[in-house]
Chain A
Amino acid sequence: MQTPSTTKTVFSADEISEKLNNLSTADFVRIRKIAAFYGKGYIEPDELISKAFIAILSGARNCPTDVNVIAFLANTMRSLASSNFKSLDRSPEFLEVIPSIEGEFDGLPSRDYPSQSPSAEETLLLTEEIGFVLSLFADDEITHLIVEGLLEGMSSSELQELACLDKTSYESKRKLIRRRLDKAKSKGMFQ
């Protein structure tokens, strides 16, 4: 008797290329919306989409056949955006520079040393962004609570319980949050 295979099958390069070509108009719109959420100023959404397509088409990231392609693309974009953020974090231009002490002699030309502390300006921008996101929901106590909870890492079921919402009402609040952020982004109110 044959034992079932435990290895996950993945789409070949040609199969995934075909699969992407045949995505619906709605799916292409979804990809654009997802990139806007994960890009967030550190990488342009279009560049993020391009990098994700290249990673999948080149086989750097293999999409399992039993996984929704859009969900897989979303995961790839999240991971690429996160890697991009980390690499920017390590690049010299993102490090604060502390000039060497004038006149100090160590037998070598004067040097600048990168500091290990994160950029204060960047931290401030992120704090402002969080503040701005929360201010968008100041008129709605429940929605504000959900946004706060999500930022703190609470799960959807925990939030439903906390806000006394059933699944449908929670999902409708979640959509309201997304649409308000979509509109604020399209107006250039934040990245």
Chain B
Amino acid sequence: MKKHIHREMLNRLADELVSDVISTSDADILSEASEDYGSPEVAADHVRSILKNAQQQVAKQRLVAAREAVNQFKDNEKCAKVISLDPVRARRALEKTLLAHPESTRELTIAARKGSDLSDSDVLSMLEDLRDLGLYDPDSDCEGDE
């Protein structure tokens, strides 16, 4: 624990000296910078370039986050379209999809293939599965109906 105590001691000293840096007048700080770094502008430009890099990095992070949000929104919208279909349209969409992909949907149960024996929620759930398999596109289905 000695290491932490020593570290804390040095931090306490740093806190007081940082208070001094903050309260020192601009004129004195600029004069110190000439002495320490050659010129105040050289010292300031060094920090300005760190700021510029940080701003670029944060802008990139925001762009990535925005793209992810858009993709998430699109995915949610697709789900919402399947779920919000009325039962008649949903059954029509299921029938259309099964007919359009007889090879891929062969493994579905007979009840599923008949459609009429399924509850409304079963139909919606199957449409979601077919959408996940890439066999049903809620967007094109809506466009076709409208």
Measured CB to CB, the residues of A under 8 A from B are: 13, 17, 20-21, 24-26, 28-34, 37-38, 40, 46, 49-50, 53-54, 57-58, 68, 70-71, 74, 78, 82, 85, 89, 118-119, 122-123, 126-127, 129-130, 133, 147, 150-153, 156, 171, 174-175, 177-179, 181-183, 186
B40 to chain A, nearest CB (A): 5
State whether the Cβ of B33 lies closer than 8 Å to any Cβ in chain A: yes
Minimum-distance CB pairs A-B, first 3: A28-B44, A53-B54, A126-B6
Tell me the B residues contacting A by CB distance below 8 Å: 1-4, 6-7, 9-18, 20-24, 26, 29-30, 32-33, 36-37, 40-41, 43-48, 50-51, 53-55, 57-58, 61
A54 partner, pick from B2, B7, B12, B57, beta carbons under 8 A: B57
Q: Please state if B11 and A182 are interface contacts (CB–CB under 8 Å).
A: no
A50→B18 contact, CB < 8 A: no
For residue A16, give the distance in angstroms from its CB to the closest CB of chain B. Answer: 11
Q: Looking at the assembled complex, report how far the CB atom of A72 sits from the nearest CB atom of chain B, in whole angstroms.
A: 11
Q: Which residues of B are found within 8 Å of A30, using beta-carbon distances?
A: 21-22, 24, 29
Asked if residues B22 and A129 are in contact (CB atoms below 8 Å), the reply is no
Task: State whether A26 touches B18 (Cβ < 8 A).
Answer: no
Known contacts: A152-B9, A175-B24, A178-B17. The answer to whether A26 contacts B50 by CB under 8 A is: no
